Amino acid sequence: MEAVGATDIVLMRKFPASPEDVFAAHTQPDLIEKWMTGPDGWAMTSCKCDAEPGGTFRYEYAHGGGRPGFSISGMFATVDAPKRLTYREVMAMAEGQTETQVDLQIRPGKTSGAVMRISLSYASTDLRDAIMDAGMKDGMEASYAKLDAVLE
């Protein structure tokens, strides 16, 4: 994960599965709830996803240690299976909410598997930097490690 330009974060990740399987894991609720849970201690308590242009999604999270929960919701703009998703995402937390423009692209790997590139665009450099400093990388990596196991 790296900061790119003034307001973006880009994450590249390889998976041991086909682009079709990686795409399905980002769009099918029964698969999403198996891996998109973040670091230890967090649990997804609700998962709704209607992956079509104009369709919406909402994921709700709770922490076993009593910390305030949060939700992630949004609307899909582009759904081009198994290559690309674009959507607006809103993360609502006790401290407030943030909006992100997301461009997720999946392509076949050079020899096998799939390569995913996610570009996250924020309203300001300060917001982007605060999100990176808040542990986003660790949370995303914990979830994607779980996705590796789901896809194997």
Backbone angles phi, psi at 135, to 5 degrees: 100, 20
Which of the four pLDDT bands, split at 50, 70 and 90, describes residue 6? very high
CATH code of the domain containing 7 = 3.30.530.20
pLDDT at 135 over 80: no
Provide the residue range defining the domain that includes 78.
2-139
Looking at residue 55, its amino acid is: G
Give the pLDDT score at 137: 80
pLDDT digits (tens, 9 = 90+) for 102-113: 999 999 999 999
Please choose, from the candidates 89, 88, 96, the residue with its C-alpha nearest in 3D space to the C-alpha of residue 130.
Answer: 96
SS3 (DSSP) at 145: helix
* 114 in any annotated domain: yes
Q: What is the C-alpha separation between 39 and 49, in angstroms, rounded? A: 21
Q: What percent of the chain has pLDDT over 90?
A: 74
* 80 in any annotated domain: yes
* 150 in any annotated domain: no
Q: Which two tokens stand for residue 143?
A: 């979830």
Q: Domain tally for the chain?
A: 1
Please name the residues in contact with 134: beta carbons below 8 A apart, sequence gap of 6 or more. Answer: none
Which of the four pLDDT bands, split at 50, 70 and 90, describes residue 95? confident
Please choose, from the candidates 73, 98, 83, 69, the residue with its C-alpha nearest in 3D space to the C-alpha of residue 24.
Answer: 83
* 149 in any annotated domain: no
pLDDT digits (tens, 9 = 90+) for 59-80: 999 988 888 889 999 999 999 9
* 48 in any annotated domain: yes
Say if residues 66 and 94 touch (Cβ distance below 8 Å). Answer: no
**Claim: this prediction has a pTM higher than 0.85:** yes
pLDDT digits (tens, 9 = 90+) for 20-61: 999 999 999 999 999 998 777 888 999 999 999 999 999 999
Read off the pLDDT of each residue in 126-142 and give the average, rounded to a whole number: 85
Q: What is the C-alpha separation between 99 and 123, in angstroms, rounded? A: 8
